[in-house]
Structure formats: C-alpha cells, structure tokens
Amino acid sequence: MQTIPTPYYLIDKPALQRNLDIIDEVRKQSGAKVLLALKCFATWSVFDLMRRHMDGTTSSSLYEVKLGHQKFGGETHAYSVAYADHEIEEVVAHCDKIIFNSISQLERFALHAAGKPIGLRLNPGISHSGFDLADPAREFSRLGEGDPERIRAIVDRLDGVMIHNNCENEDFGRFNDLLTQVERRYGDILRRLNWVSLGGGISFTKPGYALDAFCERIRSFARKYDVQVYLEPGETAVRDSATLEVSVLDVGYNGKHLAIVDASTEAHMLDLLIYRETAPLGSDAGDHVYMICGKTCLAGDIFGEGRFATPLKIGDRVSIGDAAGYTMVKKNWFNGVNMPSIALREADGSVRVVRRFSFDDYVDSLS
C-alpha cells in the first residue's frame, strides 16, 4: 500500500464480504430479495463479488439503470423522481420493473412501459430520519403518493409498490412500528399486489442489530399479504468496507494541531459537509489529537479530529474511514484537486489499483 500514490479509495473486499454474508442470511431467513441501491455505491469493479449475494440493483436515473443492467445483472429495478420524455424508452429497455414516483408519471408513461411490471412509490407520511434534508416524509415532500383513495383508484394497474421511509435506521423497534403504521394505512392495497419494496436505510448489517426479529417480521409480512418483499440496501451493503487513503502535506497549529492532506471533503467525501458529520480517524488510544483538513480553498474543508499514536509529520499516511457509501458516486473536480484512484484489497491482503484518474479526465469533464 505504501507504494500506491495517494489519494485513493481502498475497498476492503473481506470487510465487504462480512456485510454480504449478513445479506445472504437475511435472504435465506426472510425470503426477501435484496437489490443494491446504486445511488449510494456504484463501483462496479466489485460487482462480481456482490452479485453472488444480491439479486440485482435499483436505480434513480437512466444512467444507473443502464449501469445495473450492463455491469451487475440480475433484476434491474428502475425508479426516478421524474422520467423525461427523451429517456423513458431507454429506461424501459434496460429494466425488469419500472417504478413511478407519482400517478401523473404513471399515467403519462404507462403505455411506454407496456409488458413490464409497473410499480408506484408510496409515501406514508411517516419516516425515520435524523436529517430533514434526507427525510422522505418531510413537509411538502415530492417523493411518492400518500393518499390511499388516489392509490386505490389505480391499484389494478400496479404490480407492486416501493416504500422508502427509513434513513440510517439502526432500531428494529422503530422499523417495526413504521411498517405497522404502513399496514394500517395501506393494508387493503398491499393485498392486491405481487411485490412490495421496503426500500433502503435499514441498518441491518450493523453489529448488534436484531437480525432474527427483522427476518421474521419480513417473512410474516410477505405471508400476510402474499407478496414478494424487496430490500434496497446501499450504505448497509457497504458498511465499513472502504477507506480514503491520504498523505499529510503540511502540519501546523492554530489553537489545535492541524494536518492538511491531499484530499478534500468537498470533492471526495461530500456527505461530511452536507450533513455536518465527521469521518472516523486515527485511534481512540492515541495521545496526539489532530484536525485532519482537506486541501481546497473551502474554509470548512475538514474531515474531523482524530487521535494518533505519534505526532503527525509531512509524508505520513492517514486512513479516513466510512468511505464507501455516498462517496465515489458523488466525487467531483472542485478546485481541480486530483481525483482519488480506486484500489481493492483482496482476501490474501494484496492491494491492486483498478482505476486511476488524470488531468485528461478533468479536462474531459468540462468543455
């Protein structure tokens, strides 16, 4: 690893395998099918591993539909907040199921989707989310249809529904309560369907999660309504499976010890800024505390604070944790900062780079 130039994302395949083993257990115990949410993680160099343990992909755009179809295989579910006229035929050509966000979109494009199972996103008006920005049930939400009467009027045109109202939900009890409320509101509709997707945001790969109870709840739900249940994990599938490997470019002190590294939150781990969070850094046992800072001109380009065993110096390498979900799919060229490579650590400990980016990639992203 010391010979690979930083920055680079390092995907640890054995760590990824631990999540996939749990997914296999959920598929076996619950009967649910599990689709990778490409909006969170779309690094197709590990799809050969992931497809052995998942049933396909779900998408949020035409490009994701095509990527899932071409690179992952299995079932390819298409969803979008709104399809455009010029893309609908290509979406349909690459998907196995198409899910509409609104009845308006369904009525507009249903003829284009003839022959494909059609779904509708439901919004029950309740959710689990710690951030208003990500809350699908926030006030004035545009995400899905909520009125049971409107849905009943078109239910005969539906094969299934998608209900995505969990976000980083680590509490099985809360998941169970939300699903119970969904059943009370839409129970008669659910009985008229062939499949129900419960979306993503359910942290069932987190250590200590009530996995057996979760699987039993899904299994009983599927039996009660005679439906195939789908789960759409994104971050849950890739939890703790990647780091962003960086090098220290400069150190300083301004009330706190600072270390500037050759990467950026804005460009390479954008969710840290969006949600005002910090990345896992260093060790709890270290005596030397540093604020790890990005190299862009943005004043708030800060990964967080970490504890280190020895004082950091120029040239030292630092691993920034939690770098799988919502990172590589959001990376950008802000400040023209070099794009991190992507590397894989195999089960035998060997590391290989699968993608490098260059100045030409930067130029080609512009005009």
Cis, peptide link before residue 117, omega less than 30° from 0:
no
SS3 content of the chain, % helix, strand, coil (to 5): 30, 25, 45
- CA quadruple 309, 345, 267, 321: dihedral sign: negative
Six token digits for residue 361? 């990639």
- pLDDT tens-digit series, residues 283-336: 778 899 999 999 999 999 999 999 999 999 999 999 999 999 999 999 999 999
Q: How many CB atoms lie within 10 A of CB 237?
A: 27
Q: pTM for this one?
A: 0.95
pLDDT at 24 over 90: yes
249 falls in which pLDDT band (50, 70, 90)? very high
Summarised one tens digit per residue, pLDDT across range 42-78 is 999 999 999 999 999 999 999 999 999 999 999 999 9
Q: Which helix (H) or strand (E) holds 354?
A: strand 351-355
Chain-centre distance for alpha carbon 217: 23
- DSSP state letter for 5: P
Residue (of 103, 227, 98, 100) closest to 154 by Cα position:
103
Distance CA 195, CA 187 (A): 13
Give the pLDDT confidence score for residue 286 in this predicted structure: 87
Q: Cis peptide before 7, with omega less than 30 degrees from 0?
A: yes
Mean pLDDT value across the chain:
96
| Phi, psi torsion values for 13, nearest 5 degrees | -65, -40
